[in-house]
Amino acid sequence: MEENVRAVSVEPQRRIALPQVTWEDLSQPGAYVEIGTGDLYRIPKEAVVPGCSPLIRKESAGASRLVQLSPNPFITTLQARLLACEHNIQPNF
């Protein structure tokens, strides 16, 4: 007699994708990491006031994609590094 044996993983699986934005679409405060460079940017709520000029401006010939690690711009550096690594982004901070 052959039994169907199914292995069930007890490891938690994280399937949550973090939000990605470009510099032009950045409208929420938070801690962001740039995918290409691994640089961390802390964007406070004062930097994204609707109707105002942005306080942070980056100009580059290439396109930059940012991943929001946390809505809290003051997340600890260790937490931000761990989140970046969990999402296959090499941190540079």
pLDDT given for residue 7 in this prediction? 66
Give the residue numbers spanning the domain of 75.
Answer: 20-86
Element (H, E) at 42: strand 40-43
Q: What is the pLDDT of residue 62?
A: 79
Would you say residue 24 lies in a domain?
yes
Residue with tokens 């931000």: 80
The model's pTM: 0.78
Low-confidence ranges of the chain (pLDDT < 50): none
Determine the Cα–Cα distance for residues 25 and 31; give it in Å rounded to an integer: 15
Is the residue at 82 inside a domain? yes
Residue 11 lies in a domain: no
What pLDDT score does 49 carry? 86
Task: Examine residue 80 and state whether it is found in any structural domain, yes or no.
Answer: yes
Residue 4 lies in a domain: no
Q: For 75-84, how does the pLDDT look when each residue is reduced to its tens digit (9 = 90+)?
A: 999 999 999 9
Residues 6+ apart with CB under 8 A from 67: 18, 19, 20, 32, 33, 35, 84, 87, 89
Task: Tell me how many domains the chain contains.
Answer: 1
CB atoms within 10 A of CB 5: 5
